């Protein structure tokens, strides 16, 4: 999700900044495969070429602040006012990324008034993650090519790579095409891109120091804690959306790609942790859809709407959201279903005449219920109602007795009975024509595979002999 400032993002004269139209996508069926096949990636990084492949600007930005913060904390005492200011400024600059860069500009999840756009633009600059245009271009590519070679922070390359590694070295391949023409024509985005270097110095370090100095005379503390250390926390908070949110949690809406939902990720990313939902419905201004889920970015946007600073908050239709949830619930149920043992399909059972049924019942305990022949040899002595009831119906039709004539059996009894089917009576019986009675309760809501819906299956073949029951 996040990107630190790089040479390209700081250079207003780069080619992406001067092109008013998006790069055209080749007219091919599979753009990802076409691009990988026809564009040459940089060679793999090895110990011999490592120094030449390091992105030194990103390395400095990601390593110097932590070192300065650690050393500074030994020499500058933390005052409670400064600690409070650092936390407040952490959320302010973090929201510049989550509510601004991410949900407003990258995904256009709502509209913001001009004053709010400028505020979010300067707060986002205080996080030192690149300009809006550059950041959004990479993030749109991430969504468009998730988990592929054209994803700038492909989670399949490992937790470390997607968290920070992709920024420390030169990318092996240029990210896939993403349209940011709307941002190139946005005056606030253009202004921020033009003045980005000045803004990161002022918002990243000068402002937090000045506020602490004017407020309670702690300029050094403001610089170390609200400036430098706060910046480190904002960096890794945002980086977790690329790494932790693709590694920890559940997939309640779709499991095609790596994004996941988890409360812990939400807490460390200012509400961006419900990432499975976000990747399914990226234009939704929410990440968390439940009132109790932690999403301060959503709450902030909602409050800004009430204040008249934001409008047109986009929400994906609830009916479609619930379809995604139902799909995943059915997948989980299907996995459970496949781990259970089910009765033999009626098409796989031999068809036996009545005479053959009665003859074979003299050698083994067979009972007819709903047109199916059942072998109850292992259940006679286990029958809760006593073995004599079963013995009385060996070689007979016990359908009426089973369905309330003697006892109206439970669903569990119906399911267990179906597991004892060994054949089908030729011609069936009136009861056997009742689908509700022929299908055990456990199978009436069985989740069918797509292939099962297409293939009718093999037809039963008539077999009038003892071998047909084995």
Q: Domains of the chain: which residue ranges?
A: 7-326, 346-469
**Number of other CB atoms surrounding residue 354 within 10 Å:** 13
Residue given tokens 């005056």 in the structure block: 187
User: Sign of dihedral through CA atoms 462, 465, 469, 470?
Assistant: negative
pLDDT at 201 over 80: yes
Is 83 in a helix, a strand, or coil? helix
For residue 191, give every residue at least 6 positions away whose Cβ sits within 8 Å of its Cβ, in sequence order, or none: 118, 121
Q: Are strands 372-375 and 366-369 parallel, antiparallel or unpaired?
A: antiparallel
Least Cα distance to 146 among 32, 43, 45, 40 occurs for 32
Tokens (6 digits) for 205:
């370090």
Helix spans in 161-295 (H): 166-168, 181-184, 187-194, 196-201, 207-216, 219-221, 230-239, 263-268, 275-280
pLDDT in tens, 285-334: 999 999 999 999 999 999 999 999 999 999 999 999 999 999 999 999 99
pLDDT reported for residue 197: 96
Classify burial at 436, counting beta carbons within 10 Å of its beta carbon; exposed 0-12, middle 13-18, buried 19 or more: exposed
Residue given tokens 């089973």 in the structure block: 402
Span 341-348, average pLDDT: 86
pLDDT at 93 over 50: yes
**Number of other CB atoms surrounding residue 408 within 10 Å:** 9
pLDDT reported for residue 455: 53
What is the CATH T-level fold of the domain 346-469, as seen in this structure?
Answer: Flavocytochrome B2; Chain A, domain 1 (3.10.120)
The answer to whether the predicted template modeling score (pTM) of the entire model surpasses 0.85 is: no
How far is residue 432's CA from residue 424's CA, in Å, rounded to a whole number?
Answer: 9
Q: Find out whether 314 and 111 touch, Cβ atoms under 8 Å.
A: no
* Mean pLDDT for the chain overall: 88
Is 424 in a helix, a strand, or coil? strand
């Amino acid at each position: 999700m996040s990107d630190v400032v790089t040479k390209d993002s700081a250079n207003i004269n780069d080619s992406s900044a001067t092109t008013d139209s998006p790069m055209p996508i080749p007219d091919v069926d599979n753009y990802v495969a076409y691009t990988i096949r026809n564009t040459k990636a940089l060679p793999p990084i090895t110990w011999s070429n490592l120094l030449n492949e390091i992105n030194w600007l990103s390395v400095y930005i990601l390593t110097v602040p932590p070192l300065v913060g650690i050393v500074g904390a030994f020499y500058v005492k933390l005052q409670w006012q400064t600690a409070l200011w650092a936390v407040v400024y952490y959320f302010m600059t973090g929201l510049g990324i989550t509510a601004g860069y991410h949900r407003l500009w990258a995904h256009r999840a709502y509209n913001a008034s001009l004053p709010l756009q400028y505020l979010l633009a300067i707060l986002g600059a205080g996080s030192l993650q690149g300009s809006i245009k550059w950041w959004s271009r990479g993030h749109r590519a991430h969504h468009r090519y998730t988990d592929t070679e054209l994803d700038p922070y492909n989670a399949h390359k490992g937790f470390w790579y997607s968290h920070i590694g992709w920024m420390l070295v030169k990318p092996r391949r240029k990210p896939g095409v993403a349209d940011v023409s709307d941002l190139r024509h946005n005056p606030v985005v253009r202004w921020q891109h033009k003045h980005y270097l000045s803004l990161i110095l002022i918002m990243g370090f000068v402002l937090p120091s000045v506020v602490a100095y004017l407020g309670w005379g702690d300029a050094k503390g403001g610089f170390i804690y609200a400036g430098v250390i706060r910046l480190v926390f904002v960096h890794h908070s945002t980086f977790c959306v690329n790494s932790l949110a693709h590694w920890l949690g559940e997939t309640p809406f779709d499991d095609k790609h790596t994004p996941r939902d988890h409360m812990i990720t939400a807490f460390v990313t200012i509400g961006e942790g419900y990432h499975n939902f976000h990747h399914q419905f990226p234009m939704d201004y929410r990440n968390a859809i439940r009132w109790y889920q932690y999403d301060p970015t959503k709450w902030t946007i909602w409050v800004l709407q009430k204040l008249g600073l934001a409008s047109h908050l986009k929400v994906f239709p609830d009916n479609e959201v619930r379809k995604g949830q139902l799909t995943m619930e059915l997948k989980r149920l299907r996995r459970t279903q496949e781990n259970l043992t089910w009765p033999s399909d009626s098409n796989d059972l031999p068809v036996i005449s009545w005479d053959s049924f009665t003859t074979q019942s003299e050698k083994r305990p067979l009972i007819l219920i709903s047109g199916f022949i059942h072998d109850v040899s292992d259940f006679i002595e286990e029958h809760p109602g006593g073995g004599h009831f079963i013995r009385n119906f060996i070689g007979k039709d016990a359908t009426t007795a089973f369905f309330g004539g003697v006892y109206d059996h439970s669903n569990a009894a119906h399911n267990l009975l179906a597991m004892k089917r060994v054949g089908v009576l030729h011609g069936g019986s009136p009861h056997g024509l009742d689908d509700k009675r022929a299908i055990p309760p456990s199978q009436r809501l069985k989740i069918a595979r797509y292939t099962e819906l297409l293939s009718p299956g093999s037809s039963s073949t008539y077999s009038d002999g003892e071998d047909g029951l084995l």
